């Protein structure tokens, strides 16, 4: 059966006019702030795992659980995230993020301050912050679709999504400076709590939606949530994106959490690990800042994916050998730069491409499922790689070479999936872009069941719509 809100526009005698509003940048800025803070909170103790373990009198594996539990909390919240973004839009999700951040951060501070450190209370606060993360991390594609035209969507998604690893970079650098000894831990968490509070307060004053749609595709009703979710899971192209997305995000989360433990067996300090993490993210952000506007202009989603995925795999191969290099920490810095550049450039391109090829499904459905897969695998990878850590009798003791080999093999296995998009006779079209450029989706442009009960996608366009062709865009 065709979706009740199947995309279709009839010609209008008057040209349609679509507008973007300057106020859209206020919400985008708030998403950036929240994503910075939640990621900083996630890796608060990762770059100082040894110091934190001494303060709480627990093992480094227990400190790893602060990151792992955070990622599992993300997965628990994800179904509700999809519902909130689909029914209420970005603003309710932003408010929920801020509320969890406020409570979680101050509970963490109480846990570090009371009785010389209560690890269980810190873990509870960390889980609350983990529940907050998906509401802001999964919101960028929904927000850019609601507020931005096709001339700025990829850049908007990139800015908001990549703010998350920017927060991780800040945490890698700042936390190791704020907590140079175990007794510094409470003050470090206090400073982060104050910053989180300041960043959260503007959320309650944002506009919910623009007065008028920014583009033709934004004005079209979307497929109902339940129907879209079922149809999406039956689409081959979605799985070709979901599998590598989840794997690469998962290993980024794992490597970010374990970076100090990856480098320290070879003589690197916590400060060195913090610098390596910062290079990973800063170089990635700069690359994404260059790539995203270019992608907005030329829409070369699939070509970029086919170039960047092999580079991501090559960077994981390099990470096996870099920490043990006789040249010291420098090769690790180079590998981190390569990994950051390829991974960060790839992220917003994949998220926007997913929205393009699954249109008219609402953007948050696919992106939330992908992010959830990444967080779930990230938690699993942290546990697996921690278990693969060498024992104290190895050379060097507690090295993570086997864990890095595991990461490389899995990344290489995932690489053919995105590289297969558009091959073997399957036509994959940028459906949302076609609507914005004046091509009406066919009445059959929904998933239909074949005689073999397999889901297929009819991506064929129909006639141009003059109202779309004549639509204009103004910055008000």
The model's pLDDT over 70-124, given as tens digits with 9 standing for 90+, comes to: 888 888 898 899 999 988 889 999 999 999 999 999 999 999 988 878 889 999 9
* pLDDT > 90? residue 451: no
Residues pairing with 17 in the sheet: 472
Q: What is the pLDDT of residue 438?
A: 67
Map out the domains of the chain with their CATH numbers: 17-197+217-465 (1.20.1250.20)
3-state helix/strand/coil string of the chain: CCCCCCCCCCCCCCCCEEEECCCHHHHHHHHHHHHHHHHHHHCCCCCCHHHHHHHHCCCHHHHHHHHHHHHHHHHHHHHHHHHHHHHCCHHHHHHHHHHHHHHHHHHHHHHHHHHHCCHHHHHHHHHHHHHHHHHHHCCHHHHHHHHCCCCCHHHHHHHHHHHHHHHHHHHHHHHHHHCCCHHHHHHHHHHHHHHHHHHHHHHHHCCCCCCCCCCHHHHCCCCCHHHHHHHHHCCHHHHHHHHHHHHHHHHHHHHHHHHHHHHHHHCCCHHHHHHHHHHHHHHHHHHHHHHHHHHHHHCCHHHHHHHHHHHHHHHHHHHHHCCCCCCCCHHHHHHHHHHHHHHHHHHHHHHHHHHHHHCCCCHHHHHHHHHHHHHHHHHHHHHHHHHCCCCCCCCCCCCCHHHHHHHHHHHHHHCHHHHCCCCCCCCCCCHHHHHHCCEEECCCCCEEECCCCCEEECCCEEEECHHHHCCEEEEC
Q: Tell me: the pLDDT tens digits for 289-343?
A: 898 888 878 888 888 999 999 999 999 999 999 999 989 899 999 999 999 999 9
User: Looking at the predicted structure, is the pLDDT value of residue 450 above 90?
Assistant: no
Mean pLDDT of 404-419: 95
CB atoms within 10 A of CB 393: 7
pLDDT at residue 460 in the model: 38
Find the mean pLDDT for residues 115-137. Answer: 89
Of 105-119, 171-185, 457-471, the range with the lowest mean pLDDT is 457-471
From the list 316, 364, 382, the residue with the least C-alpha distance to 65 is 382
pLDDT higher than threshold 60 for residue 164: yes
Q: State the pLDDT at residue 476.
A: 37
Q: Would the CA dihedral through 59, 192, 98, 348 be positive or negative?
A: negative
How far apart, in whole angstroms, are the C-alpha atoms of residue 400 and residue 408?
Answer: 13
Which tens digit of pLDDT belongs to each residue from 242-295?
999 999 999 988 888 788 889 989 988 878 887 888 888 889 889 988 988 888
pLDDT higher than threshold 70 for residue 131: yes
User: Which pLDDT score is estimated for 408?
Assistant: 95
Compute the distance between CA of residue 328 and CA of residue 460 in angstroms, rounded to an integer. Answer: 55
Task: Write out pLDDT tens, residues 1-52.
Answer: 334 333 333 444 445 577 888 888 998 999 999 999 988 888 788 778 888 8
Whether the pLDDT of residue 174 is over 50: the answer is yes
pLDDT above 90 covers a percentage of the chain that reads 35
Inform me whether the pLDDT recorded for 463 exceeds 50.
Answer: no
Q: What pLDDT does residue 375 have?
A: 87
Mean pLDDT across 338-367: 89
Whole-model pTM? Answer: 0.78
Phi-psi region of 68 (alpha: psi -120 to 50; beta: other; left: phi over 0): alpha
3-state secondary structure labels for all residues of 277-346:
HHHHHHHHHHHHHHHHHHHHHHCCHHHHHHHHHHHHHHHHHHHHHCCCCCCCCHHHHHHHHHHHHHHHHH
**Is the per-residue pLDDT at 468 higher than 70?**
no
């Amino acid at each position: 059966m065709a979706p009740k809100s199947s995309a279709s526009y009839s010609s209008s005698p008057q040209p349609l006019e679509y507008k973007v509003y300057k106020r859209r940048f206020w919400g985008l800025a708030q998403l950036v702030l929240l994503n910075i803070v939640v990621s900083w909170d996630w890796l608060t103790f990762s770059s100082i795992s040894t110091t934190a373990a001494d303060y709480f009198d627990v093992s480094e594996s227990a400190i790893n659980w602060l990151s792992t539990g955070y990622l599992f909390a993300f997965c628990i919240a994800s179904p509700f995230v999809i519902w909130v973004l689909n029914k209420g839009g970005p603003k309710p999700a932003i408010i929920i993020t801020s509320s969890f951040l406020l409570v979680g951060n101050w509970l963490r501070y109480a846990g570090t301050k009371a009785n010389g450190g209560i690890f269980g209370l810190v873990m509870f606060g960390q889980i609350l912050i983990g529940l907050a993360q998906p509401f802001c991390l999964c919101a960028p594609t929904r927000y850019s679709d609601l507020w931005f035209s096709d001339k700025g969507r990829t850049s908007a998604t990139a800015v908001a999504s990549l703010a998350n690893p920017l927060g991780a970079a800040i945490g890698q650098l700042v936390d190791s400076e704020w907590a140079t000894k175990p007794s510094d831990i409470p003050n470090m968490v206090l400073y982060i709590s104050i910053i989180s509070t300041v960043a959260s307060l503007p959320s309650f004053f944002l506009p919910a939606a623009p007065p008028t749609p920014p583009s033709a595709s934004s004005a079209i009703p979307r497929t109902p949530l339940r129907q879209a979710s079922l149809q999406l899971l039956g689409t081959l192209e979605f799985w070709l994106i979901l599998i590598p997305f989840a794997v690469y995000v998962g290993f980024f989360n794992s490597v970010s959490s374990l970076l100090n433990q990856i480098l320290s067996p070879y003589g690197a300090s916590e400060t060195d690990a913090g610098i390596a993490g910062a290079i990973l993210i800063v170089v990635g952000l700069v690359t994404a800042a260059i790539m995203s506007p270019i992608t907005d202009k030329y829409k070369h989603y699939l070509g970029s994916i086919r170039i960047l995925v092999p580079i991501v795999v090559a960077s994981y191969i390099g990470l096996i050998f870099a920490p043990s290099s006789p040249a010291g920490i420098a090769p690790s810095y180079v590998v981190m730069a390569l990994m950051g550049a390829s991974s960060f450039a790839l992220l917003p391109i994949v998220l926007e491409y997913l929205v393009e090829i699954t249109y008219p499904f609402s953007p948050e459905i696919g992106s939330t499922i992908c992010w959830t897969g990444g967080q779930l695998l990230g938690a699993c990878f942290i546990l697996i790689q921690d278990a693969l850590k060498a024992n104290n009798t190895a050379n060097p003791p507690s090295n993570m070479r086997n864990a890095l080999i595991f990461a490389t093999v899995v990344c290489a296995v995932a690489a053919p999936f995105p590289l297969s998009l558009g091959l073997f006779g399957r036509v994959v079209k940028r459906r949302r872009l076609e609507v914005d450029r004046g091509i009406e989706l066919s009445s059959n442009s929904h998933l239909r069941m074949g005689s073999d009960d397999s889901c297929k996608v009819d991506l064929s366009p129909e006639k141009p719509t003059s109202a779309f062709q004549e639509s204009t865009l103004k910055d008000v």
